[in-house]
Structure 1
Amino acid sequence: MRRSLAAYAWPVITGVLLAIVLLNTFPQLIGRSASPPPAVQPPAVPPAQPLVDPSASREAATRPTPDVRQAAPLSRDQGPASYSRAVEKAAPAVVNVYSSRVVEHEQHPLMSDPFFRQFFADDLPSQQRLLSSLGSGVIVSADGYVLTNHHVIDGADEIQVALRDGRETLAEVIGTDPESDLAVLRIQLDDLPVIELSDTTDVAIGDVALAIGNPFGVGQTVTMGIISATGRSHLGLTAYEDFIQTDAAINPGNSGGALINAEGALVGINTAIFSRSGGSQGVGFAIPTRLAHSILDALVTQGRVIRGWLGIEAQEMTPELAASFGLQAPRGVVIAGVVPDGPAARAGLRPGDVLLEVDGRPIVDARVAMSDIAAIQPGATLPLTVVRSGGRLDIDLEVGERPQPERRLPSR
Structure 2
Amino acid sequence: MSPWQTFALRILFPAALGALIATLILLLFPEWVLHEERQPAGNTPVDQLTANTAEPLTVALPVTPSSYASAVKLAAPAVVNIYTRKTVKRRTNPLLTDPALKRFFGETEQPDDRMQSSLGSGVILSPDGHIITNFHVIEGADEIIVALYDGRDAEATLVGSDPESDLAVLKIDLPDGIGPAVIADRSANAVGDIVLAIGNPFGVGQTVTMGIISATGRNRLGLNTYEDYVQTDAAINPGNSGGALINAKGELVGINTAIFTQSGGNEGIGFAIPAEIAHRTMRDIARYGTTIRGWLGIEVQEASPELLESLRLPGELTGLLVTGVFPEGPAEQAGLASGDIIVGLNGTDADNAVEAMNRIAGLRPGDTISVDFLRRGERLTTTAYAGLRDQPQGVSE
**Short-chain TM bin:** 0.7 to 0.9
Residue 375 of structure 1 is aligned with which of 340, 347, 362?
Answer: 362
Residue 12 of structure 1 is aligned with which of 8, 19, 22?
Answer: 22
Instruction: Identify the residue that residue 164 of structure 1 maps to in structure 2.
Output: 149
1:224 aligns with 2:210: yes
CA deviation digits over 1:200-240, x for unaligned, max 9? 21112222111111111111111111111222222222222
Compared CA separation, residues 17 and 397, structure 1 to 2 (3 A): same
- Kindly, what percent of the aligned residue pairs are identical? 49
Question: Could you tell me how far apart the structure 2 residues matched to 1:31 and 1:372 are?
Answer: 64
Deviates more, 1:308-317 or 1:296-305: 308-317
Compared CA separation, residues 336 and 18, structure 1 to 2 (3 A): farther
Compared CA separation, residues 27 and 188, structure 1 to 2 (3 A): same
Question: Could you tell me how far apart the structure 2 residues matched to 1:117 and 1:130 are?
Answer: 28
Instruction: Give the C-alpha shift of residue 325 in structure 1.
Output: 1.8
Instruction: Identify the residue that residue 351 of structure 2 maps to in structure 1.
Output: 364
Deviates more, 1:11-20 or 1:271-280: 11-20
Residue 291 of structure 1 is aligned with which of 277, 293, 297?
Answer: 277
Structure 1 residues without counterparts, runs of 5 or longer:
44-75, 407-412
1:211 aligns with 2:222: no
Compared CA separation, residues 191 and 20, structure 1 to 2 (3 A): same
Question: Could you tell me how far apart the structure 1 residues matched to 2:294 and 2:38 are?
Answer: 78
1:248 aligns with 2:238: no
2:350 is matched by which residue type in structure 1?
I
The structure having more radius of gyration, on CA atoms, is 2
**Contact 1:160–1:171 at 8 Å: present in 2 too?**
yes
Compared CA separation, residues 17 and 170, structure 1 to 2 (3 A): same
Compared CA separation, residues 116 and 387, structure 1 to 2 (3 A): farther
Instruction: Give the C-alpha shift of residue 342 in structure 1.
Output: 5.4
**Contact 1:321–1:330 at 8 Å: present in 2 too?**
no
| Higher helix proportion (structure 1 or 2) | 2
Structure-1-length-normalised TM-score: 0.77
Count of equivalent residues: 372
Instruction: Give the C-alpha shift of residue 288 in structure 1.
Output: 1.5
Instruction: Give the C-alpha shift of residue 276 in structure 1.
Output: 0.8
1:274 aligns with 2:243: no
Question: Could you tell me how far apart the structure 1 residues matched to 2:355 and 2:244 are?
Answer: 26
**Contact 1:326–1:390 at 8 Å: present in 2 too?**
no
Compared CA separation, residues 161 and 30, structure 1 to 2 (3 A): closer
Instruction: Identify the residue that residue 81 of structure 2 maps to in structure 1.
Output: 96
Compared CA separation, residues 380 and 205, structure 1 to 2 (3 A): closer
**Contact 2:236–2:270 at 8 Å: present in 1 too?**
yes
Instruction: Identify the residue that residue 131 of structure 2 maps to in structure 1.
Output: 146
Compared CA separation, residues 395 and 121, structure 1 to 2 (3 A): farther
Question: Could you tell me how far apart the structure 1 residues matched to 2:130 and 2:40 are?
Answer: 80
Structure-2-length-normalised TM-score: 0.79
Question: Could you tell me how far apart the structure 2 residues matched to 1:166 and 1:399 are?
Answer: 46
Structure 2 residues without counterparts, runs of 5 or longer:
none
Instruction: Give the C-alpha shift of residue 153 in structure 1.
Output: 1.0
More relative contact order in 1 or in 2 (CA 8 Å, sep 6+)? Answer: 1
Question: Could you tell me how far apart the structure 2 residues matched to 1:141 and 1:237 are?
Answer: 27
**Contact 1:99–1:132 at 8 Å: present in 2 too?**
yes
Compared CA separation, residues 17 and 234, structure 1 to 2 (3 A): farther
